[in-house]
Structure 1
């Protein structure tokens, strides 16, 4: 009696359970989340051209649906409000209006001299400037105000007493050497500016608002080659300085102010 031994079949070894399969789903989720944020960033961009390119490319990849979504160009092109800029613009508008009113009052006060071409009132980026021919204020090579000029300057000071702006008084001369007690035109122009400042202080204008500057012959408004040009260069400018400077160009208060003061 023979026995046949058969080898028992071993069942196939089962594959061990993979406990890290969730990483595949997690990585897919992270990839989709990254793509989502990329899309959100692209939508938030204000560059319309780049938005459309990205939208078309994304639409093609997703079956042509993305290209149908169009950005709101009116919202994207709308400038971001700047409260500080708006506030400054309003301050500039109010400052310009205030200085324009002051220029008109000065123009009215100095009307007779403006009509004669001896005074010029202008409004520019610095503020309001009253340019007075030196012949109206001083005798030749002198720093003492004439009685006529004291009356006119006192009227100007009356308009400035209750004003808040800083005031700069500038003296100018021609290029001729001085023939008096002053060493040069620097001293002469500075003393003339200081004389006007002193009258303003005596008339009630606060001293801390005032500055006297002498320019000698360094800022001519006409050539010094003849008596006419030299007479135009001898002048005193009273400038009411703007507290909020703006870049606008010079604006004469009236057509007559465009003409330079006639020599006297």
Structure 2
């Protein structure tokens, strides 16, 4: 009995490991499958991408046509070339088409491509110098400085520059303008001179509205800068009148803050070639030396050149 029981047990356990054969076959087939798929991915990647992009374009076109027209698909076959994404789809309205390619608009993205050759002197360094030059005016509240991404803004109180209702620069105006000129004369950044007023009605023999007064005051400051030697091509005038207030016009303090002239320096500069052309034009406009003309033997007409560029004709003996 013992022998039979042992023999039966041995026969029962003889085939318990046969599952390993099936498992090994399965692993071999699975390995072969991944090898084949990998080889197809290497050799057919471009073809699969073309097919995928083509199908995607066909389905997108079909969906748009069904939404707009309510008709069926009228697509074409598989594209022969790979479809690439258009720049407009990637960047939307931030793309500007130019002859040499696509540039991101500066208004859409602060980190967009900016043509560096048109940038002027860094505004930060100019601001530091102006803070030192206008220290007394800033402490007295008659001037202030503000720096943003595109402009360095120099605010000057109209009370310090002009009398009420006037645009005629006085001695105090020239002193302050000289301080500003000494700092900005060596840079080529564009300049905008802006005039502002309060909302008090003005109607005198010279100015019929606050528009005219704001423009006249900005023009007066610009002329002073031009006389000192600032290139005319760098500058422009802007008049805002009462329509761009800095404070509430309902109070006397607010109206005082709204009466001002702003000298704004741009981060962009006048190109070198335009700067040279302007300098040549100024040289060509210099007055020609006029010789004295004898009227009679006892009287001589004398022509005297004035500082502002004009002339005075006289027969008296004066220089």
TM-score (norm 2): 0.49
Please give the secondary structure, in 1, of the residue aligned with 2:222.
helix
8 Å CA contact retained: 1:132, 1:237: yes
Q: How far off its partner does 1:39 sit?
A: 4.5
- 2:42 paired residue among 36, 40, 44: 36
- Do the aligned partners of residues 108 and 88 (structure 1) sit closer, same or farther apart at CA in structure 2, a change above 3 Å counting? farther
Residue matched to 1:18:
none
- 1:215 paired residue among 237, 240, 246: 240
For the aligned residues, what is the CA RMSD? 3.3
- 1:170 paired residue among 188, 194, 200: 194
- Do the aligned partners of residues 201 and 41 (structure 1) sit closer, same or farther apart at CA in structure 2, a change above 3 Å counting? farther
- 2:227 paired residue among 198, 202, 208: 202
Q: How far off its partner does 1:41 sit?
A: 8.5
Deviations 1:158-213 (A, max 9, x none): 22222111100000000111142201001000000000000000000000101011
State the distance in 2 between where 1:213 and 1:96 align: 21
1:132 correspondence with 2:156: yes
- Do the aligned partners of residues 242 and 97 (structure 1) sit closer, same or farther apart at CA in structure 2, a change above 3 Å counting? closer
Matches within 5 A, 1:1-264: 35-39=41-45, 88=113, 91=116, 98-180=122-204, 181-243=206-268
State the distance in 1 between where 2:48 and 2:120 align: 44
Please give the secondary structure, in 2, of the residue aligned with 1:166.
strand
- Do the aligned partners of residues 35 and 124 (structure 1) sit closer, same or farther apart at CA in structure 2, a change above 3 Å counting? closer
Deviations 1:100-141 (A, max 9, x none): 010111111111000111111111122211001110110111
8 Å CA contact retained: 2:195, 2:241: yes
Structure 1 unaligned regions, length at least 5: 1-30, 44-83, 245-264
- Do the aligned partners of residues 96 and 168 (structure 1) sit closer, same or farther apart at CA in structure 2, a change above 3 Å counting? closer
| Runs ≥4 residues deviating over 4 A | 31-35, 39-43, 84-92
Q: Which has the higher contact order (CA 8 A, sep 6+)?
A: 1
State the distance in 1 between where 2:122 and 2:165 align: 37
How many residue pairs get aligned? The number is 173
Residue matched to 1:77:
none
Deviations 1:68-107 (A, max 9, x none): xxxxxxxxxxxxxxxx999958959xx6972101011111
State the distance in 2 between where 1:138 and 1:233 align: 14
Deviations 1:194-246 (A, max 9, x none): 000000000000001010111001110111112111111001110001119xx
State the distance in 2 between where 1:111 and 1:32 align: 74
State the distance in 2 between where 1:35 and 1:186 align: 72
Structure 2 unaligned regions, length at least 5: 1-36, 50-102, 105-110, 270-319
